Amino acid sequence: MMKRILSLISLMLLCGAMAAQTLPYQDRTLPVDQRVEDLLGRLTLEQKVSLMMNTSAPIPSLGIREYDWWSESLHGCARAGTATMFPQAIGMAASWDDALLEKVFTVASDEHRIKYKIARREGRVRRYHGLTVWTPNINIFRDPRWGRGQETYGEDPYLTTRMGYAVVTGLQGPEAPDGYDKLHACLKHYAVHSGPEGNRHSFDVEELSYRDLMETYLYAFERIVKSTDVQEVMCAYQRFESEPCCGSDKLLVQLLREKWGYRGLVTSDCGAIDDFWRPGRHETYLNEPEIAVAKAVRTGTDLECGSSYRHLVDAVKQGKLSEAEIDVSLRRLLRARFRLGEMDPDEVVSWNSIPEERLACDESRALSLEMARETMVLLQNRKGILPLRKTGVKYAVIGPNADNEQTLWGNYNGTPVETVTALEGIVAKVGEQNVTDDAAAADIIIFVGGISPRMEGEEMRFSPEGFDHGDRTTIELPRGQRDTLQQLAALGKPIVLVNMSGSAMGLLPETKVCRAILQAWYAGEAGGTAIADVLFGDYNPGGKLPVTFYRSDADLPDFENYDMAGRTYRYFEGDPLWEFGYGLSYTKFRFGRARVRDGYLEVKVRNCGRRDGDEVVQVYVGKDEDVEGPRKSLRGFQRVHIPAHKSVVVRIPLGDEAFETYNPSQGDMTAGTGHYTVYYGNSSSDRNLRKVRVTI
């Protein structure tokens, strides 16, 4: 009996010792890849598959907790409760200030870490509370009717690259001494994606020149992948050359991994794998779910947002995919979780020490106001009506967006501590006694109109006139607002239009009835304050358009034609209402004669006015012998602050990459020999540009 008791005690001690033993994948001193391989060898096929879906189930026996890969940070920590809300992405693009944008996303990443720490403490990392954020959207805003264009950084590949780089850098942060990553950013939607939303689950971009592909649609993806350690790429819904993007060998294997050297993971857009096989989508491209998921994994889609990957178990059992091919994706997924410290105790990860008091703190909210001010683009100011006087004038502040908080929020947004509407910002500036909603009793009418995130977006049910399931069919101002402005004009009082939208609007009739027009985008929690600061002269506007504002719908090509001919400032042959890069100021700037040497363009810029102000120095390049491509493309810019009556010398890098165009004989972007014209000034219009000739 005693011997049996001793044997039982020995067994219990042995089991306890084994339980206390640190397994290799739990050993933080080992290299990440070694930890990954050890854990990979302990997983069953079913467990592996469960880890390949965005809502990843826990595996308690191995100490793996539940994790949801889907988080959003389009313009701040989103959909996870209280957070600092910055202006919508397209508005921040109008700042042309990538340094400030990096600060914005440093704040956003701080707040994501705080949300994650709180979620872990509560025992569950649910959707929108994780460390893998599906931002930035670096698609090209090729057509102003695209509902999700508001999420992008505009129509230009170079501007998109610079802004996207800043977002990734701000989100992922610097390398920490303990080796853990702060967050993982995600480039989306790869590739050739900008609508049309109505048939995006079946649409095929069949005919597209390789020039447009490389110079426009893939330009930002390639450069950000090569210049940063971005950890995620999201493949798009539609097909490219007859293959769904999430199953495209050309996009995911040949270009992304083999040519560009990308080593991170690829996630599908939500429901994109369903489109491979469900009836009515992609013409039932692959009509069996097991074949469909095998295709997606084999071409490198590691993580699915959706539920089709549950069929991977059967796909392996049926011989349509090997478990070794599953392991390729698992390595990338597990590596990401180890690098983020998600598999380790919270207290050992330095990023988790960010104080919770930093969440939506005063400093971060002040940064939101700073960015909102920089996004404001002054489009028209006839007879210098702006800035307005704060005293001695009665203002009527009217229009559908005058006191509308949600319009300021954009889409994919967080919940701000407080939102200041345009009406509230103006009242705070001039006092309630000087504001009415009675236009007839006012001296000046401020009409705050435009559209809203409810009117432009993705597959939205709300479809008023001029909209089709989230995509506009027209760029014109809604008819009701246009009629109202005409009626107000009959009163004979000056009208100032504040236009809120996430895209370019056709405002030609409004230029005739309004003395001033301010493009305010969806300006975030401090938008109303920023609008009032500009209208009343406490801030001198310096924003520039990241998109072309066309005169009317007649300027726009067929929505479903992805050729760049006739689109954006690079290929549009008409006369825009306001060109890409355009924006007025309350002061005047003069550009000196530039010189190009030692890989830089150097130019002196003088503020000739009586107000301090910001100017955006823009540099464009065109190849003289190139008769088929764009006449000029943005290749450098810098936003500079110049005090009144002062000058600054601006030096903008202009290396070999600035002169690259698509070379069909090499199938790549190269800076070929020839004659180039370097344009510099403060917009893309020839009337605002000077020239320097360069020979390579």
Report whether 276 contacts 285 (CB < 8 A).
Answer: yes
Strand pairing partners for 650?
603
- Specify the amino acid at residue 545: L
CA dihedral over 426, 430, 431, 434, signed as positive or negative: negative
**Structure-token pair, residue 164:** 């996207």
CA dist 191 and 240 (Å) reads 8
Degrees, nearest 5: CA angle 340-342-346: 105
Q: How far is CA 18 from CA 22, 25, 143, in A?
A: 8, 15, 62
Q: Output the CA–CA distances (angstroms, integers) from residue 687 to 493, 647, 683, 684, in the order listed.
A: 32, 22, 9, 9
Tokens at 551, concatenated: 């005169």
Catalytic residue among 269, 374, 525, 555: 269
* Residue 605: φ, ψ to 5°: -120, 130
* Residues belonging to the chain: 696
List the catalytic residue out of 181, 302, 456, 615. Answer: 456
H helices of 281-404, where?
289-298, 312-317, 323-339, 362-375
Nearest one of 334, 333, 297 to 315, comparing CA atoms = 297
Strands 395-398 and 435-436: parallel
The angle formed by the CA atoms of residues 515, 520 and 522, to the nearest 5 degrees, is 150
Q: What is the dihedral of CA 434, 439, 440, 444, to 10 degrees?
A: 60
- CA-nearest of 250, 211, 259 to 662 is 211
Distances (CA, A) of 259 to 225, 226, 252, 262: 11, 10, 10, 8
CB 293 within 8 A of CB 307: no
The residue with tokens 């699915």 is 304
d(CA 471, CA 503): 11
Query: By the 8 A CB rule, do 454 and 501 touch?
Result: no
Q: Which two tokens stand for residue 18?
A: 């084994």
Q: What is the DSSP letter of 549?
A: B
Give the whole-angstrom CA distance, residue 243 versus residue 245.
Answer: 6
Q: For this structure, is 269 an active site residue?
A: yes
Q: How far is CA 628 from the centre of its chain?
A: 30
Identify the three-state secondary structure at position 693: strand
- Token pair in block for residue 111: 């707040």
CB count, 10 Å around CB of 181?
21
In degrees rounded to 5, what are phi and psi of residue 429?
Answer: -85, -40
User: In the annotation, is 456 catalytic?
Assistant: yes
425 vs 596: CA distance, rounded Å: 45
Residue 440 and residue 491 in contact, taking contact as beta carbons nearer than 8 Å:
yes
Closest listed residue to residue 199, CA positions, set 267, 282, 142, 308: 282
| Whole-Å CA distances, 197 to 16, 362, 399, 456 | 58, 39, 29, 11
How far apart, in whole angstroms, are the C-alpha atoms of residue 457 and residue 137?
Answer: 14
Question: What residues are paired with 265 via a beta bridge?
Answer: 232
**Mind telling me the catalytic residues?**
269, 456
